[in-house]
Amino acid sequence: MSMKWWTAYSSTTGEPERTRRFGRRAAGALALVLLSAAVAGCGLLPSEPEEEDLSAIQLPQISKKPEYEVTTKTLETKVSGSGRVLSTKEKTMYFTLEDKRLKKLYIQSGDQVKAGQVLAELDVDQMRQDLRSKQLAIKQQELTIKELLRKKDETDPIQFEQQMLAFEQDRQSLADLEEDIAKATLTAEFDGTVASVSVQEGDQIKAYDPVCIIADPSKKIVGATLSKDDLEKVAVGMEVQVDIGNVGQLTGTVKQLPVPDDGNNGNGNGNGNGGGQAPMGLDDYLLIDVPKLPATVQRGTPLSVSVILDRKKDAVVIPLAALRSVGGRTYVQVVEADGTKREVDVEVGQETSTEAEIVQGLTPGQKVVGR
């Protein structure tokens, strides 16, 4: 019995052990198959891109503000304008009668003229006819007035005064007409040369329109025009740099300022007469004496001028771009030897369009930071 039980028990317990070993073998085989399939499947996937090499890419650098060296130089403050060569003795000739036709022109450019010589005439034939009629009427009135004076005691005082006033008004009208007719003839005021002619016969002439210019070409001076604000800074005796294209730069001095006028023609001068403006004369220009003006420079040659308002030698200067202001404080950033920066308050003197003079706060050789 015991042997049977043991035999039975042994056969019963050995079966599961064999089953477990078989299961392990099957599981191992299955895992091996799955692993082979996975490896084969990986070969079917697309290849991954290679990683980009970022070592060659340079990162952007923060822009560095410019640095300027503090220097010394001759600093000049100037005002500039344009002008031309004039004659110290010249006259722009014009009529003062309004809206008349030019009847005769007796000159042309380059002609030599004498004082009192007739240059041109306006058509005033109708005015001359009116003058003749008025002269006859005045003669008739004179006879009437003589008779009135003989009978003054018999005439009403008020009526007598009215007739006398009317007679005086007619006489004044006659004198005015004679004066206007005289204005129709243009004559030279001095000996000279006709520098230019602006009209021709038949033109309709307005009052103060230029007809011609009479000048003495042997006496030359530089005339310039500046803005009204710039003129207020200029004084007689200041140095002037005169730039003439075909000659170069010459040095002169301010001789005369423009004569002020109530009008304004862009140079602080003008004329409000009649239908036009009186042409600019010498008094309307800033006159500049240039001692070494070449004889070859002709009247009318265009030029530019720079009036030196202030000049300082060995001035400590920096670019305006390095100057900083906050409220009432003016300062700069100074670069130290070790590269650090510090703020320094400065006192500013002259300023040009590009540079500023530093009166106090900096020394030549230092470096400042631009904005």
Grouping H, G, I as helix, E, B as strand and the rest as coil, residue 98 is coil
d(C-alpha 322, C-alpha 335), whole Å: 12
Q: What span, in angstroms and rounded, lies between the C-alpha atoms of 298 and 91?
A: 16
pTM above 0.85, yes or no: no
| More confident of the two residues 359 and 39 | 359
Could you tell me which of 86, 149, 14, 75 has the C-alpha nearest to residue 283? 86
Of 181, 77, 201, 75, give the one whose Cα is nearest residue 127: 181
> Domains in the chain, ordered, with CATH?
67-76+311-369 (2.40.420.20)
Average pLDDT, integer, range 67-76: 93
Highest mean pLDDT among 3-17, 41-55, 154-168, 253-267: 154-168
The pLDDT tens digits of the residues spanning 86-121 come to 998 888 999 999 999 999 999 999 899 999 999 999
pLDDT for 271:
39
Largest alpha-carbon pair distance within the chain? Answer: 202
Tell me the DSSP string of 212-236. EEEE-TTSEEEEEE--HHHHTT--T
> Is residue 43's pLDDT more than 70?
no
Cα(69)–Cα(244) distance, integer angstroms: 35
Highest mean pLDDT among 41-55, 158-172, 327-341: 327-341
pLDDT above 90 for 227: yes
Q: What is the pLDDT of residue 167?
A: 83
> How many other C-beta atoms are found inside a 10 Å radius of the C-beta of residue 211?
23
- Of the two residues 35 and 320, the one the predictor is more confident about is 320
Element (H, E) at 101: strand 100-105
pLDDT digits (tens, 9 = 90+) for 143-160: 888 878 887 777 788 888
pLDDT of res. 288:
97
Contact 171, 102 (CB under 8 A): no
Q: Pick the residue with more confidence: 143 or 54?
A: 143
